[in-house]
Amino acid sequence: MTSRQLITAIDVHAAGEPGRVLMGSHLLVKGSDMVEKLQYCQENLDGLRRLLLREPRGYPGLCAPLVLPPVNTDSDFGMIVLEQGGFAPMSGANLICAVTALVETKALVVTEPVTYLRVDTAAGVVEARADVVDGRVTNVTLDNVPAFVVALDHPLDLPEYGQIPVDIVFGGQFYVQAQAEALGLKLQSDSAKEIIRAANVLRLVAQQEFPVSHPLLPSIDEIGLPMIYGPSDSPGANGRNAVVLPNGKSDLANPSSWDGGTLDRSPCGTGTCGRMAAKYARGELELNEPFVHESLLGTTFTGHLRGVTRIGELEGVLPTLAGRGWITGFHQFVLDADDPFPEGYSLGDLWG
């Protein structure tokens, strides 16, 4: 009899962004706190990440929140995020997916009309509130970890694009953010290939020229994702953006490698938190003023800043973000011992 590994998951999308919520893989992860658990995943579970996110079980646009037992006695669960580019300490869209899956399957204690949860992440504790009607989650609100600005309008010299002013911000992950107009781009779906190419260059140059480190969490020390932003023409939306998740290796010296990646289908939760921090620093957003951020799909997350704080020597803000998730499937994935692709595969027709 062939030995098999069974992996249980619930697929959810938050404002269009797919998250494969891993419910039964927590015993694979070791560590006394979330930072150690994240490091353990990075060092030992990359094969699991590739198996679930790559073909034939996954596809380039997929992420996967891994649900873990809490490390704090007053928290309800922990989460580490599997992305195409590696493991991430926090993701707003993926946390919305995880909360939706856990509440709608009653994997934890659920109360209507509101279920309050505390979630341990490697970026800190996130307070979550799920609005529940007849067992369905109609909205998830996250009081995210503090966001802050590292630099505003920092000039970066980008091959093919020239000198571009960028913001370096933290909203749960580190982002480099630039205006679409400065890059000669339009934020529309038929410009996807051009957006991905510019965003890859933006990320690569920022990683090379602008070292970062979280003042309180020094293991979070890399600009993970690029955001390209601009105005929105949609009624009620305050801005539009595109975040690109890498799904292959890119090299500044090899322009043919700049085209690999996928667009975040959602307005990006942690990216929106970082964007609000930059807008507040510029005097463009007041405390408690709603900020409706739109994706290229036209879906939205709504955020606001509930206060200010300090992160070490840096000034920061306290972002809140709200959005909704929908369950799309229940799965039990199988890996047979003789499967020729135990870590999945990627081909150049879809992958970077």
Question: What digits encode the pLDDT tens for the residues 69-125?
Answer: 999 999 999 999 999 999 999 999 999 999 999 999 999 999 999 999 999 999 999
When pLDDT is cut at 50, 70 and 90, the band that residue 28 belongs to is: very high
When pLDDT is cut at 50, 70 and 90, the band that residue 1 belongs to is: very low
CA distance 276 to 270: 10
Q: Tell how strand 162-170 and strand 174-179 pair up.
A: antiparallel
Domains 4-140+326-336 and 147-322 are alike in CATH topology = yes
135-144, 245-254, 256-265, 268-277 — which is least confidently predicted?
A: 245-254
Residue ranges covered by each domain of the chain: 4-140+326-336, 147-322
Question: What digits encode the pLDDT tens for the residues 270-300?
Answer: 999 999 999 999 999 999 999 999 999 999 9
Hey, what CATH topology would domain 4-140+326-336 get? Diaminopimelate Epimerase; Chain A, domain 1 (3.10.310)
CA distance 178 to 163: 11
CATH tag for 147-322 (out of 3.10.310.10, 3.90.1150.10, 1.10.1040.10, 3.30.450.90): 3.10.310.10
Supply the pLDDT for residue 312. Answer: 93
Supply the pLDDT for residue 260. Answer: 86
CA distance 318 to 316: 7
Supply the pLDDT for residue 342. Answer: 95
Supply the pLDDT for residue 245. Answer: 93
pLDDT of residue 218 exceeding 50: yes
Supply the pLDDT for residue 212. Answer: 97
Q: How many CB atoms lie within 10 A of CB 110?
A: 17
Catalytic residues: 91
When pLDDT is cut at 50, 70 and 90, the band that residue 2 belongs to is: low
Burial of 345 (0-12, 13-18, 19+ CB in 10 A): exposed
pTM for the model: 0.96
Residues of the chain with pLDDT > 70, as a percent, come to 99
Question: What digits encode the pLDDT tens for the residues 162-190?
Answer: 999 999 999 999 999 999 999 999 999 99
